[in-house]
Structure formats: structure tokens, C-alpha cells
Amino acid sequence: MKWTQKTPEYGDMIRVKVRFYYHYGIYVDENTVVEFGMPDNGDTPPDDIAVMIADVQSFSNGEFVETLECEGDEKKRRRRPRDIVETALSHVGEKGYNILNNNCEHFANQCYFGEKRSFLDDVRAKIRSKIIKI
């Protein structure tokens, strides 16, 4: 995946750096970003975190917004912008946040590619493979 600081377009996956991690969302327009929780959910109990709508200013929290630039196979797997946005909006209000299995990156990838994924999935898989070999 390649991320760039360009103006996002309808249906783009976007992210913003928050301390040591990234927060992800789906861009609809300047006033509408669909995100699972806020950039910093630190003090919010997981049961209270929901898919919500924010404007770009709130989403970015003063940081640079990066836009996903699909390469190779990603271009083929990317869903149509209309489908991405419809999927994102259909989840507004849903809860069930889990930092390891159902976070903002899982949500954005589900909308964008049709599959829940996070870099944490790859980290866990690597750890499991090391443990199994021992």
C-alpha cells in the first residue's frame, strides 16, 4: 500500500497519524468522513466506540491526511467508490470495537476492499508462526 498527501476524492480510504499508530476512515466529502471511533479513543470504553460521521477537520485533528494510492492487485480488489461509501454509511452507529479484531483499519478495509484486514493481523500471524516453530 502506498499512502500520499493528496486531496482525497469520494470513496477514498484515508488515514491520519496519531502518536504511534494511524486512524483510518472513508472519505465522502469535506464534511463527511466515516470512521470507526475517533482518532484517539484512549479514554473511551470499547463498548461506547461506534462507527460515526465526522468532518475532515475533526478526523484529522490538525494532522496531515494521507490518501491510499492503490497499486497492482489493489486496483483490481478495490470496490467502486459508490459501493465503498454506501457500505461505510450503512455501518454508522454500529459498535463492537476491538483493538485487535475490529478496529478502524479493519472497518476501512472492509468498506474499501470488501475484507476486514489490519496490519495487526499480519503481526499476530508472524508471532503465531514463530511460536509454533519453537
Q: What is the mean pLDDT of residues 32-56?
A: 90
Q: What span, in angstroms and rounded, lies between the C-alpha atoms of 73 and 112?
A: 13
Q: How many domains does the chain have?
A: 1
Per-residue model confidence as pLDDT tens digits over 59-75: 998 899 999 999 989 99
| Cross-sheet strand order for the sheet of 2-4 | 2-4, 65-69, 13-18, 21-29, 32-36, 51-54
Q: How many CA atoms lie within 13 A of 89 on its CB side?
A: 12
Is residue 28 very low, low, confident or very high in pLDDT (cuts 50, 70, 90)?
very high
Which domain does 106 fall in, by range? Answer: 2-133
Q: What span, in angstroms and rounded, lies between the C-alpha atoms of 103 and 108?
A: 9
So what's the pLDDT on residue 123?
A: 60
Angle between helices 81-90 and 104-113 (to 10 degrees): 140
So what's the pLDDT on residue 46?
A: 86
CATH number at 36 reads 3.90.1720.10
Predicted TM-score of the model (pTM): 0.88
So what's the pLDDT on residue 20?
A: 86
